[in-house]
Amino acid sequence: MSKRNLLDNYYNLNLAKQAYNLLEKKRQILLQELTVRKKAAEILSKEFKVLIHKASVSLSLARMSLGSEALERINSTCVNDSLLTDYCSIMGVTLSIVKTQKKCATIPTYSLEESDSFLDETYNDWQEVKTAFVELAGIKIAIEQLSNAISHTLKRASALKYFTIPLHETNIKFILALLEEKERDELARIKTAAKNLKNSAKHTSPQN
Q: Which of 92-106, 129-143, 145-159 has the highest mean pLDDT?
A: 145-159
Q: Which amino acid is at 191?
A: K
> Does residue 180 carry a pLDDT above 70?
yes
Instruction: State how far the Cα of 26 lies from the Cα of 139, in Å rounded to an integer.
Output: 20
What's the mean pLDDT in 4-13?
92
Between residues 82 and 100, the one the model is more confident about: 100
Helix (H) or strand (E) holding 2: none
Contacts of 43 (CB under 8 A, 6+ apart): none
- The pLDDT value recorded for residue 108 is 60
State the pLDDT confidence band at 208, using cuts at 50, 70 and 90: very low
> Does residue 107 carry a pLDDT above 60?
no
Q: What is the dihedral of CA 192, 193, 199, 202, to 10 degrees?
A: -150
Instruction: State how far the Cα of 86 lies from the Cα of 10, in Å rounded to an integer.
Output: 44
Summarize pLDDT for 37-64 with one digit per residue, the tens.
Answer: 999 999 999 999 999 999 999 989 988 8
What's the mean pLDDT in 114-128?
81
Residue 87's Cα: distance from chain center in Å? 14
Mean pLDDT of the chain: 84
Contacts of 92 (CB under 8 A, 6+ apart): 26
- The pLDDT value recorded for residue 201 is 67
> Does residue 147 carry a pLDDT above 90?
yes
> Does residue 25 carry a pLDDT above 80?
yes
For helices 165-204 and 3-66, the axis angle rounded to 10 degrees is 180
Summarize pLDDT for 154-171 with one digit per residue, the tens.
Answer: 999 999 999 999 999 999
Angle among Cα 120, 101, 55 to the nearest 5 degrees reads: 35
pTM of the model: 0.74
Q: Which residues pair with 76 in a beta bridge?
A: none
Q: Are 74 and 114 in contact (CB under 8 A)?
A: yes
Angle among Cα 93, 98, 103 to the nearest 5 degrees reads: 145
What's the mean pLDDT in 199-203?
67
Between residues 57 and 83, the one the model is more confident about: 57
Instruction: State how far the Cα of 86 lies from the Cα of 134, in Å rounded to an integer.
Output: 13
Instruction: State how far the Cα of 111 lies from the Cα of 115, in Å rounded to an integer.
Output: 7
